C-alpha cells in the first residue's frame, strides 16, 4: 500500500449504481439503486424514475422539504438500513455557501449521496524537532467505524455553526480540550473526496485544522466517541496510514495532508504531485 492507494480508496466508486437526486430542479446528491427501492413506496414525497430521484415539487420551500423528508427518513430508519439516528441536522445546499434547501438527519446524508462537510483536527506535539501526533481510537460502540483509529478531534459540520465553532465544540466534547486552547487551532486545508461507503456515497469536504499542543497536555475522552488517546511518533502514524487499514478511511487523507504541509512527504516522493492533487480532487 502507498499514500496514493489511500487516496484512491477514498475515491473509488461505481457511479452506474447511483441515480441523481434533485430538489427543486437542483442536483444535490446521488441515491444508490438499492436505496431507491426504499424511497419508491413514498411516492407522495419522492418521484422515482429510471433516471433520477426527485423530491416532489409540491415541497417548494425549506420548511416543507425538511418536514417531508424527515417523515420518510423516520419510517425508513425503522427498517434498520441507516447507520442509526444521530439527531444531528445537516444543511443541504445547491453549492457551498448557498442558502440551505432543506435540513436532513446526518445519518441519512450518505444514503442520498449529498455533499457533507466536516472538521478534522491534527493535534500534534513537537519535541526536539520531532513530530508526535495525538491519535484517537473510536469507541467500540460507535455506529460507524467502531474501534478504528481517528484524528484527535473530528465531527460533521451541523447547520448553523462555522467550521471553527464546530471544531471548538468537538474539542470540548470529544477530548476535553479547553476553549482557550482549542481556539488556537488553525484552519490549514480541506481534503475532498467522493467515496463509496457501506452507508452510501460520500462526496465530502473535510476542513482540516492543525493544533500544536504543549507536551504536558493530556486529552481526555468525554462524550464516549473516542475511547483512548495515544501520542504517537509521526513516523509510526505515517506507517499505519501507509500500510494498514486501521484508520477510518477519510482520516488517512487528513494525515497525509499534514505530512505534506509539514515537509514529512516531500517532492522526492515520486507520487508527490499525484498525492497533492489527489487530496483535493
**Closer CB to a second copy, 137 or 262, in the complex:** 262
What's the min distance (Å) between Cβ of 198 and a second copy?
Answer: 25
What's the min distance (Å) between Cβ of 266 and a second copy?
Answer: 4
**Closer CB to a second copy, 93 or 197, in the complex:** 93
What's the min distance (Å) between Cβ of 278 and a second copy?
Answer: 9
**Closer CB to a second copy, 133 or 259, in the complex:** 259
Binding site for a second copy (CB under 8 A): 96-97, 162-164, 186-190, 192, 205, 207, 260-263, 266-268, 270, 272-274, 276-277, 279-281
**Closer CB to a second copy, 41 or 270, in the complex:** 270
- Rounded Cα gap, residues 249 and 136, in angstroms: 14
What's the min distance (Å) between Cβ of 207 and a second copy?
Answer: 5
Residue-level length of the chain: 281
**Closer CB to a second copy, 72 or 91, in the complex:** 91
- Rounded Cα gap, residues 211 and 167, in angstroms: 11
What's the min distance (Å) between Cβ of 262 and a second copy?
Answer: 7
Amino acid at each position: 500500500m502507498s499514500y496514493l492507494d489511500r487516496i484512491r480508496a477514498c475515491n473509488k466508486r461505481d457511479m452506474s449504481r447511483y441515480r441523481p437526486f434533485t430538489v427543486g430542479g437542483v442536483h444535490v446528491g446521488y441515491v444508490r439503486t438499492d436505496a431507491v427501492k426504499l424511497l419508491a413506496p413514498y411516492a407522495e414525497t419522492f418521484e422515482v424514475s429510471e433516471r433520477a430521484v426527485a423530491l416532489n415539487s409540491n415541497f417548494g420551500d425549506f420548511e416543507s422539504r425538511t418536514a417531508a423528508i424527515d417523515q420518510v427518513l423516520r419510517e425508513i430508519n425503522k427498517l434498520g438500513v441507516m447507520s442509526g439516528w444521530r439527531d444531528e441536522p445537516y444543511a443541504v445546499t445547491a453549492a457551498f455557501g448557498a442558502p440551505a434547501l432543506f435540513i436532513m438527519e446526518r445519518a441519512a446524508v450518505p444514503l442520498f449521496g449529498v455533499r457533507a462537510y466536516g472538521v478534522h483536527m491534527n493535534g500534534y506535539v513537537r519535541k526536539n524537532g520531532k513530530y508526535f501526533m495525538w491519535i484517537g481510537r473510536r469507541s467500540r460502540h460507535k455506529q460507524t467505524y467502531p474501534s478504528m483509529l481517528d484524528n484527535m478531534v473530528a465531527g460533521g459540520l451541523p447547520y448553523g455553526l462555522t467550521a471553527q465553532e464546530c471544531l471548538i465544540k468537538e474539542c470540548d466534547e470529544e477530548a476535553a480540550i479547553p476553549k482557550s486552547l482549542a481556539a488556537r487551532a488553525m484552519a490549514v486545508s480541506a481534503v475532498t473526496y467522493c467515496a463509496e461507503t457501506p452507508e452510501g456515497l460520500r462526496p465530502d469536504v473535510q476542513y482540516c485544522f492543525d493544533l500544536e499542543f504543549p507536551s504536558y497536555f493530556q486529552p481526555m475522552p468525554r462524550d464516549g466517541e473516542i475511547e483512548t488517546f495515544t501520542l504517537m511518533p509521526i513516523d509510526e502514524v505515517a506507517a499505519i496510514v501507509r500500510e494498514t487499514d486501521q484508520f477510518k478511511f477519510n482520516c488517512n487523507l487528513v494525515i497525509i495532508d499534514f505530512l505534506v504541509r509539514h515537509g514529512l512527504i516531500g517532492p522526492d516522493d515520486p507520487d508527490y504531485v499525484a498525492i497533492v492533487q489527489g487530496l483535493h480532487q
